[in-house]
Amino acid sequence: MSTRKQTKRISGTKAAHATKTVSRPHKLGSIGSLDDFIPYKLSVVANRVSQSIGRLFETQFNLQMPEWRILMALYAYGTLSFIEVVERTSMDKARVSRAQRRLVDLKMITLQNDPNDGRRIFLSITRDGAKMCKSILPEAARTQAWFLEGLSDTEQSQLDIILNKLMVRSQLLQGSSAPFETADDGDT
């Protein structure tokens, strides 16, 4: 971002001059402006939606975003291995580990060792955890509805289709060292 300093006189104050920084956004090459960059917009919108739902859990149940994401994943999908929780929530292992410990302390989830592999842990939601999720769902649905109010029924359907396609596509990024290569890249 380029900046330019402007000096202008402020009347009626002791300061004779004030400095104001004016910013002009840089073009991002073929992307255009940052506000046109789809990954940026998706990230901002996803964070705002997630934070609004997270506020429900934080104000009503004193749970932080990573904790409620794990709790809702277990509520929706049932018992999951630690790695499955990492994958389903798209959070790093350290964050999942910290959040799971707190959820165990709060008796919202339980941990079980895999009898066939002592290194593998399964997470399960408890009755208290499920009760919490069930009680928050109506408000979460109202929050979702508020976000979608700005879209027509057709746009909501299109958004769902597009997001599903992007979810599938984003799964290609997991474990890939060069996910953006096309089939032609190796032939030239």
Q: Which of 1-15, 37-51, 147-161 shows the highest mean pLDDT?
A: 147-161
Binned at pLDDT 50, 70 and 90, residue 83 comes out as very high
- Tokens linked to 173: 């990024």
Task: Tell me the percentage of the chain whose pLDDT exceeds 90.
Answer: 47
Residue 27 is predicted with a pLDDT of: 76
Q: How many CB atoms lie within 10 A of CB 117?
A: 9
Q: Which pLDDT score, from 0 to 100, does residue 122 have?
A: 96
pLDDT on residue 33: 84
Q: Is the pLDDT of residue 74 over 70?
A: yes
| Residue that wins the pLDDT comparison between 23 and 32 | 32
- pLDDT of residue 15 exceeding 70, the answer is no
The verdict on pTM exceeding 0.85 is no
Sequential DSSP letters for 107-160? TSEEEEEETTEEEEEEEEE-HHHHHHHHHHHHHHHHHHHHHHTTS-HHHHHHHH
Least confident residue range of 21-30, 83-92, 94-103, 179-188: 179-188
Amino acid letter at 169? R
Asked if 80 and 73 touch (Cβ cutoff 8 Å), the reply is yes
Unique residue bearing structure tokens 């934080």: 58
